[in-house]
Amino acid sequence: MKKIAIIGAGISGLFLANLLEKDKSYSYKIFDKKNSLDLNNGYGIQLSVNSINQLNKIGFKSIKATDVYFPKKVNFFDAKNSKKICNIDLSQFNNQNNRYTTLKRSKLLEFLLKNIPSEKVVLNSDVVDIKNQDKLSVYFREKKSEEFDYLVAADGVYSKIKNILFKKEGLPKYFNSIALRGKIYDFQNVDISLYLGPNFHFVIYPVNRNKEFNFISIIRKELIQEEISNRNLFKDNIFVNSLLNQISSKSNINLIEQVKEIKCFPIFVSKKIQVPNSKNIFFTGDAFYSFPPSFAQGASQSIESANELFNDLKNNSTNYYKTRILKTKQINSRSSLNHFAFHLSNPFNVFFRDIFLKYISKNKSFLENYLGKIYNN
């Protein structure tokens, strides 16, 4: 039986492990550099129907009904006055078995972990090198090594495996944007609320049926290299509050009062699509490509890419990267376009953007092409 090393115990790595655990065609181990898996992180994620379709194959329907939410619409608002611009009906892409879903990331990780035997998850395992000769040898900081037939890098945007293989070219780049993430309790809207402002946008959506809401704001912010490298900057209350004040001053929602447990982090994206020369090394999720965060596909693509890889391995196919590159280009172009449109600041451009949004939100042909091609995979 061939052996697979999965590097990274995030959404992509754990979903792949679930597929392998169910199929039993391969043996596998998951390695993660952290000392423990953080299941207390209550921040939210969105899962479109393309990923729910895959999750249902491993029993996602069994998750507690109170731990998930099924928003029907994305409502667009002008941040400065909360005037509604338009809405997009997400339910048009749903079917009887698969619905657009929001939940806490921790709840998804709990679900993905429950079917994985604990001995197959090896923590405190930081990869330092890879030798790919007759067998693929993975070397860890703890001065140990193991041999495998395949290696799957599912270790996120800061992928150590990508750095080992591609050196500096494998490092992500700063996207000139900062994210603020937090929680809101008992917000007035029950669907996904997207607020557009000059050089920022923020999204608020329920993560369960207990009136808990996720808040995420993307703020355009140029930083010098010294600031980008200073991780303490993003924990500094003065810096974080200045960003929250910046968007609050241009919004009629009192974010300072409502948003709790705020975390701040710089946004990094992939420089380019990179494919290893080796036929037994694969990248999934953000390790393969990290998108601008304006299309809500990060978690869904982590799941979808793992499913594509599993099918390729099972069918002894070599189409994984061909399929993944095509999908990545589609999503990256949409994410970049959304980011540009969401952050317009010139009143003239904003006026015509809002007219365009009202038009396309009711244009089924456009929505099927722009969203349906991604959601109905």
Q: What is the DSSP letter of 279?
A: T
Phi, psi of 221, deg, nearest 5? -155, 115
State the CATH number of the domain containing residue 99.
3.50.50.60
In the block, residue with structure tokens 């999908």: 327
- Residue 275 pLDDT: 97
Q: Is residue 196 part of a domain?
A: no
Is 108 within a domain?
A: yes
pLDDT digits (tens, 9 = 90+) for 103-127: 999 999 999 999 999 999 999 999 9
pLDDT of residue 256: 82
Q: Which residues pair with 204 in a beta bridge?
A: 193, 215
Average pLDDT over residues 214-234: 96
The least confident of 85-99, 195-209, 241-255, 325-339 is 241-255
Q: Is residue 254 part of a domain?
A: no
Q: Answer yes or no: is 308 within a domain.
A: yes
Residue 189: the pLDDT is: 86
- The confidence band for 42, taking pLDDT boundaries of 50, 70 and 90, is low
Q: What is the pLDDT of residue 196?
A: 98
**What's the predicted TM-score (pTM) here?**
0.96
Q: What is the pLDDT of residue 255?
A: 87
- pLDDT tens-digit map of 165-200: 999 999 999 999 999 999 999 888 889 999 999 999
Q: Which of 29, 110, 20, 107 is nearest to 307 (CA)?
A: 20
Instruction: Determine contact, residues 75/189, Cβ cutoff 8 Å.
Output: yes
Backbone angles phi, psi at 253, to 5 degrees: -100, 130
Q: How confident is the model at residue 254 (pLDDT cuts 50, 70, 90)?
A: confident
Q: Are 8 and 156 in contact (CB under 8 A)?
A: yes
**Beta-bridge mates of residue 87:** 75
pLDDT tens digits for range 306-337: 999 999 999 999 999 999 999 999 999 999 99
Q: Indicate whether 204 pLDDT > 80.
A: yes
Examine residue 147 and state whether it is found in any structural domain, yes or no: yes
C-alpha triplet 84, 343, 368: angle, nearest 5° = 65
The verdict on residue 224 lying in a domain is no
- Closest by alpha carbon to 106, among 63, 49, 74, 70? 63
Residue 291 belongs to domain spanning: 3-172+270-375
- 256-292 confidence digits (pLDDT tens): 889 999 999 999 999 999 999 999 999 999 999 999 9
Q: Is residue 361 part of a domain?
A: yes
Q: How many domains does the chain have?
A: 1
Domain assignment present for 244:
no
Average pLDDT over the chain, rounded to an integer: 95
